[in-house]
Amino acid sequence: MLNYRKKFIIVISLLFSMLILFACSEEESTTESSTSGSNTLATIIDRGELVCGVNDNLTGFGVINSAGEFEGFDIDYCKAVAAAILGDSSKVEYVPLTASARFEALAAEEIDILIRNTTWTASRDRDLGNDFTAPTFYDGQGMMVKASSGYDSIESMAGATVCVLQGTTTELNLDDRFTGSGIAYTPLTFETNDPLQAAYEEGRCDGWTTDKSGLASKRAGFSNPSDHVVLAETLSKEPLGPLTRDNDSELYDVVQWVVFGMMQAEESGISSSNVSSMAANPTDPGMARLLGVGFDGGEPTDFGFGIPVDFMQNVISQVGNYGEVYDKHLVPLGLTREGSLNAQWTEGGLIYAPPFR
């Protein structure tokens, strides 16, 4: 009898839970759809903090300095976005991510934006459900070898072992270049940089391939940088930039135009040192629109980003323009701008902002 009652209770409770499940399924699905098209910008403003996925181990782009703070080119873009949205570049929570974990973290809404020297590719844009805003740095994949090895080209590396980071486009470009040209090689794929660097230094692999900026950064960190050379050949195009989730247009637009705004500020000659005087007294209507102030007593132009109209003033005064950020973090690594793709378009580079109009 007791057994019967137990069974009865179990069946009843299961039935009830099924009933409630079906009754609520409609309500559930409506909440589903509202979260999938979420507005991360509103979330950031409510939270009062930007959660930014970054690198913590790449000097110049994203690294923890001796004071325990994040610094670098990508970190400054996190700060710029925080300055634009929240008016304070320090309101950022940095989440260090490995190359292979970064897209999962973005998709799972652990972070608001990902600024982690990430290459813009078609499959990442579409398949992985990301939206790339705009390239902040035009990179290309390179190959670092020991100077004593005598390698001068990829062709001369037949039979070599190459260390590469897992889950990167680098791994695929490497294979395209070697297998595509019929050059035998062995890839040695690491998940993080530290064991990879140890393996390279100990001669476990003949070459180390990643973005040239990354190689310059790592080479600068060696005790004797001149023992290592980065081969002249560029294996691939690597446009790096911030990205947001798909269907997150409000935040996407803000990040994109902060990037463009910093480029435009450099082109217009606005820097962190003169932004306040320029804002008080803009020299032309274009500058006034960029800084969100009225020209000649007129009303400031509101582009409708959902953040203060003078957001670029905060960005430039607290972080700086594109050239300032570049000079601060990347020039010390030996990545000169002159003649590279990262020069302003007026000087033959690709740094080009659409008009603020």
Partner 1 sequence: MLSHLYNQIKSQSSISEKLEVLRNDKSFRKFFVQFIFAIFMAFFLFYLITRAFSLELGFGHLTSRAGFGISHTFLVDYTSNNSRWDAYFTGVINTIRVSLVGIILATILGVLMGLARLSKNFLVNRIAAGYVEFIRNTPLLVQIIFWQLVLLQLPQISNALTFGGISVWSNRGILLPFINTIQNGSLWVLVLLIGLVISLVIRSYSSKYKEENVNFISPNILSLITFLIIALAGYFILGIDLYTDVPVLEVNQYGTYIQSGGFALTPEFAAILFALVLYTGTFITEIVRGSIQSLPKGQTEAAQALGLSNYQRITLIILPQALRSIIPPLTNQYLNLTKNSSLSVAIAYPDVFMVSRTIMNNAGHALPMLSLILITFLCLSLVISLFMNLLNKRVTRIGA
Which among 55, 54, 53, 45 is positioned nearest to 88, based on CA atoms? Answer: 45
Residue 171 makes contact with partner 1 by CB under 8 A: yes
Distances (CA, A) of 83 to 140, 219, 246, 343: 30, 32, 23, 25
- Please name the residue that has the structure tokens 């009754």: 23
Copy the structure tokens of residue 183: 């050059």
139 touches 239 (CB < 8 A): yes
Q: Which of 57, 189, 301, 344 binds partner 1 (CB under 8 A)?
A: 189
Helix 249-268 to helix 40-47 angle, to the nearest 10 degrees?
A: 80
Instruction: Determine the number of helices (DSSP H) and then strands (DSSP E) in the chain.
Output: 13, 14
Q: How many chain residues interact with partner 1 (CB under 8 A)?
A: 63
- Can you say how many angstroms the Cα of residue 165 is from the centroid of all Cα atoms in its chain? 17
Rg (CA), the chain: 25
Residue 191 makes contact with partner 1 by CB under 8 A: yes
Q: Which of 38, 43, 161, 234 binds partner 1 (CB under 8 A)?
A: 161
Copy the structure tokens of residue 203: 């001669």
**Please, which of residues 253-292 interact with partner 1 by CB under 8 A?**
none
Residue 81 CB, nearest approach to partner 1 (Å): 25
Q: Which of 90, 192, 247, 336 binds partner 1 (CB under 8 A)?
A: 192
**Please, which of residues 16-75 interact with partner 1 by CB under 8 A?**
16-18, 20-21, 24-25, 28-29, 32, 36
Is residue 126 packed enough to be buried (19+ CB in 10 Å), middle (13-18) or exposed (0-12)? exposed
Q: Which of 68, 150, 182, 304 binds partner 1 (CB under 8 A)?
A: 150
Q: Which of 151, 257, 311, 356 binds partner 1 (CB under 8 A)?
A: 151
Residue 73 CB, nearest approach to partner 1 (Å): 23
Residues that bind partner 1 (CB under 8 A): 1, 5, 8-9, 12-14, 16-18, 20-21, 24-25, 28-29, 32, 36, 99-100, 103-104, 107, 123, 127-129, 149-151, 156-161, 163, 166-168, 171-172, 174-176, 178-179, 185-192, 195-196, 198-199, 202-204, 206
